[in-house]
């Protein structure tokens, strides 16, 4: 068992520009109550300013970016830095999302440098790890996800805030969801490794599950051991379905 407060996070990927972001927050009606989860949204960087001003209606919503560069500034066309993201109102950043790794070729080593930059600027990294279907079938799940975790934490300061998200690549955007048992098994591996690396404080670090989470399957996933939250892609784009997932994480 874990006493970590649940987390429901929405990864919008390259969806919802500033105008749609404002509409999203206008329509978002989160359940009231003190036993609710932490709620976070990761809009595209260009929509962050709109999210900052429109989430005023519900300041509980934390905001993050989807990626950062490890340098603070310089000749890196197309990139944004941790310092800029923080200044613009983000308090979290996704790190090493599978689309960054597999579509944009981000390496474990780069993820490690980015995590260190995020932590150095007070952005909480949400470190994403996950195996492909081929890796899973070849029995490499453990080696892959723990290798990604080790590399991501290599330069992380000992006391920096962080979260981890287990996102099996075969379950992202495919409609295939890991079973609660699959999620619990992977989360147990990650929890054990974090305790070995970080000691006691690892028990307070949330481990989220991501991959085709929807209002209809969120509650059973969140009931699995050490599934401390969910990272939601497609179903986070609609304020009503996102609110239903938050509801599923309330009171547990």
For 130-158, give one letter per residue: b (16+ CB within 10 A) or e.
Answer: bbbeebbeeeebeebbbebbebbbeebee
Residues 216-245, mask of contacts with ligand PGA (x by CB under 6 A): ---------------xxxxx----------
CB 166 within 8 A of CB 190: yes
Shortest CB 237 distance to ligand PGA, Å: 9
Of the candidates 69, 97, 121, 187, the residue annotated as catalytic is 97
Residues 6+ apart with CB under 8 A from 89: 48, 49, 51, 52, 63
Of the candidates 106, 110, 131, 167, the residue annotated as catalytic is 167
CA 106 from centroid of its chain's CA atoms: 17
Other Cβ atoms less than 10 A from the Cβ of 76: the count is 11
Residues 180-219, mask of contacts with ligand PGA (x by CB under 6 A): ------------------------------xxxx------
- Nearest 5°: phi and psi at 193? -65, -40
In terms of CB distance, is 57 or 102 closer to ligand PGA? 102
The yes-or-no answer on residue 71 being catalytic is no
Quick one: DSSP state of residue 75? S
Q: Could you say whether residue 7 binds ligand PGA (CB under 6 A)?
A: no
The yes-or-no answer on residue 167 being catalytic is yes
Query: Nearest to ligand PGA by Cβ — which residue?
Result: 233
Q: Which residues contribute to the site for ligand PGA (CB under 6 A)?
A: 11, 167, 172-173, 210-213, 231-235
């Amino acid at each position: 068992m874990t006493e970590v407060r649940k987390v429901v996070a929405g990864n919008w990927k390259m969806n919802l520009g500033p105008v749609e972001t404002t509409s999203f927050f206008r329509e978002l009606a989160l359940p009231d109550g003190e036993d609710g989860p932490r709620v976070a949204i990761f809009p595209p960087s260009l929509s962050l300013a709109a999210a900052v001003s429109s989430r005023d209606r519900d300041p509980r919503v934390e905001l993050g970016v989807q990626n950062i560069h490890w340098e603070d500034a310089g000749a890196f066309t197309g990139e944004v830095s941790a310092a800029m993201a923080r200044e613009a109102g983000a308090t979290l950043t996704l790190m090493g999302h599978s689309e960054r790794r597999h579509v944009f070729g981000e390496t474990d080593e780069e993820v490690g440098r980015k995590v260190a930059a995020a932590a150095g600027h007070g952005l909480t990294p949400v470190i994403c790890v996950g195996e492909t279907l081929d890796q899973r079938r070849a029995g490499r799940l453990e080696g892959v996800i723990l290798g990604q975790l080790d590399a991501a934490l290599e330069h992380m300061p000992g006391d920096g805030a962080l979260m981890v998200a287990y996102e099996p690549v075969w379950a992202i955007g495919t409609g295939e969801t890991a079973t609660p048992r699959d999620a619990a098994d992977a989360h147990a591996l990650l929890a054990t490794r974090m305790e070995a690396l970080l000691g006691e404080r690892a028990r307070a670090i949330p481990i989220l599950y991501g991959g085709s989470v929807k209002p209809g399957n969120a509650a059973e996933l969140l009931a699995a051991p050490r599934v401390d939250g969910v990272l939601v892609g497609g179903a986070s784009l609609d304020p009503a379905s996102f609110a239903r997932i938050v509801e599923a994480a309330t009171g547990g």
